[in-house]
Structure 1
Amino acid sequence: MIKLDNNNHSVFALYYHLILTTMYRREVIDETIAKELENHFIRIAKNYHIKLQEFNFEADHVHILFKAHPNSELSKFLNAYKSASSRLVKKEHPEIKDKLWKEMFWSKTFCLLTTGGVTIDTIKKYIEKQGEA
């Protein structure tokens, strides 16, 4: 069962699955860099009412499950995270420049999926049945 959050005027459960890939899908993420990326996420997320639920990686991308509030500005958060983490990781690991010679660590594209406790079909059926006796 998903735990619902609330504020003064609403109840919500907003979970997102974010996938970020490195520029050119270069394989530069290792255990050390992944932990730094996770720590940057946690630090920056606090300013946007976002809480990390799960973080994992492969050499060329990360998967992040996070929870947000209705007032979270997701596009601003994503820009802040991608910019800051890119700058900080490249500063701490200059060897990355051998594979990523431009300023960017992350690809411009990303995948952001909403998640839920039930399937879309279940929600559709629930809505269709509203008003029936």
Structure 2
Amino acid sequence: MKNDDTSSLSHTRWNCQYHIVFTPKYRRKAIYAKLRSDIGKYIRRLCEYKGVEIVEAHAMSDHIHMLVKIPPKLALSSFMGYLKGKSSLMIFDEHVNLKYNYGSRHFWSEGYYVSTVGLNKQTVANYIRNQELDDQLADKKSIKEYKDPFTGK
């Protein structure tokens, strides 16, 4: 199955897209609104470091929506821990006055929402249905042995 949205690793073709929503702790709108552009910059940089493609992202008044493509070699939960942990450290390093007001360097709330964004049912059914035909066509192109290597006939 060749699709414009697929990416590849050495032996894998993949299209793992996730819709992720996460919020600042206590939904602190007052400080979050002032930092939205910086937070976006930090998140883009961290995603780039891990090879995660941001398809679409938007910082709302009190939460972040992201549509990302995460390689299958990277677990979603470990990526979210990395993203929230490192961005929190970056926020408190750049905006030193926040750690005196809010302390303990916890900027994000503990949880997050995630849902997978995949191919529709019809596309998957067509792929499964046509995969056998594709394999048969590939076999016709390959060189066939006309002698049984074990019996010599």
TM-score, normalising length from structure 1?
0.75
1:87 is displaced (CA, Å) by 2.1
> Match of 2:50?
48
> Match of 1:80?
82
| RCO higher in structure (CA 8 A, sep ≥6) | 1
Q: Percent identity?
A: 23
2:19 & 2:98 partners in 1: Cα distance?
A: 26
* DSSP-derived class of the 2:32 partner: coil
Question: Quick check: 1:63 aligned with 2:62?
Answer: no
1:1-133 paired onto structure 2 within 5 Å: 3-27=5-29, 28-30=31-33, 33-94=35-96, 96=98, 100-118=102-120, 122=121, 126=125
Please, what is the CA RMSD of the aligned residues? 2.9
- Greater share of residues in helix: 2
2:5 & 2:60 partners in 1: Cα distance?
A: 29
Ranges in structure 2 where 5+ consecutive residues have no aligned partner = 130-153
1:107 & 1:16 partners in 2: Cα distance?
A: 19
CA offsets 1:79-98 (integer angstroms, 9 cap, x no match)? 12111211222333355568
The amino acid that maps onto 1:87 is L
1:35 is displaced (CA, Å) by 2.2
2:113 & 2:101 partners in 1: Cα distance?
A: 23
* DSSP-derived class of the 1:17 partner: strand
- Greater share of residues in strand: 1
1:53 is displaced (CA, Å) by 1.5
Ranges in structure 1 where 5+ consecutive residues have no aligned partner = none
Highest CA radius of gyration, 1 or 2? 2
* Contact kept? 1:29, 1:58, Cα under 8 Å: no
* Contact kept? 2:40, 2:59, Cα under 8 Å: no
TM-score, normalising length from structure 2?
0.66
CA offsets 1:8-66 (integer angstroms, 9 cap, x no match)? 21211111111111111221322x62222222222222333211122211221111111
Between the two proteins, the alignment pairs up a number of residues equal to 125
